[in-house]
A and B are shown apart, each in its own frame.
Chain A
Amino acid sequence: MVSTSTISKEYVYGLLAEVVDPEVPVLSIIDLGIVREVFISDDKTEIVITPTYSGCPAMQRIEWDIKTALLEKGITNASVKTILSPAWTTDWMTKEGKEKLKAYGIAPPNPTASVCSTDLFAAAEAVQCPHCSSYHTIRVSEFGSTACKSLFKCSDCQEPFDYFKCH
Chain B
Amino acid sequence: MATEISIGNLTQPINESTDQLILYTLHLADNALILGQRNAEWTGHGPVLEQDIAISNIALDLIGQARMLYQYAATLINQATNQLINHSTNPAHTEDTLAFFRTGAEYKNCLLVELPRGDWGVTVLRQFFFSTYQYFLYHELKNSADETLAAIAEKSFKEVTYHMRWSAEWVIRLGDGTEESHDRMQKALDQLWAYTGELLTPGDFETEPDGKIVVDLRSIKVAWTNKIQEVLSTATLQIPENKWQQSGGKQGRHTEHLGYILSEMQYLQRTYPNAQW
Q: Which chain A residue has the least Cβ–Cβ distance from B68?
A: A54
Q: Check A143 against B50 for contact (C-beta < 8 Å).
A: yes
Q: Check A141 against B53 for contact (C-beta < 8 Å).
A: yes
Q: Which of A116, A117, A141, A147 contacts B60 (CB 8 A)?
A: A147
Prevailing SS type, chain B contact patch? helix
B25 smallest CB distance to A (angstroms): 14
Residues of A within 8 A of B166 (CB): 142-143
Q: A residues touching B (Cβ–Cβ < 8 Å)? A: 51, 53-57, 83-88, 115-121, 140-145, 147, 151, 167
Give complex CA distance A43, B122 in Å: 56
Q: Check A51 against B50 for contact (C-beta < 8 Å).
A: no
Which of A117, A141, A145 has the most chain B CB atoms closer than 10 A to its own CB?
A141
Q: Check A53 against B61 for contact (C-beta < 8 Å).
A: yes
Q: Check A51 against B155 for contact (C-beta < 8 Å).
A: yes
Residues of B within 8 A of A54 (CB): 61, 64-65, 67-68, 155-156, 159
In the A-B complex, list the 3 residue pairs whose CB atoms are closest, starting with the nearest.
Answer: A55-B64, A54-B64, A85-B151
Q: Please, how many residues of chain B have a CB less than 8 angstroms from a CB on the other chain?
A: 35
Q: Which chain A residue has the least Cβ–Cβ distance from B69?
A: A54
- B74 an interface residue at 8 Å Cβ cutoff? no
* Contact pattern, B 255-276, Cβ under 8 Å of A = 1, otherwise 0: 0000000000000000000000
Q: Check A86 against B154 for contact (C-beta < 8 Å).
A: yes
Q: Check B151 against A83 for contact (C-beta < 8 Å).
A: yes
B156 smallest CB distance to A (angstroms): 6
Residues of A within 8 A of B67 (CB): 54-55
B161 smallest CB distance to A (angstroms): 5
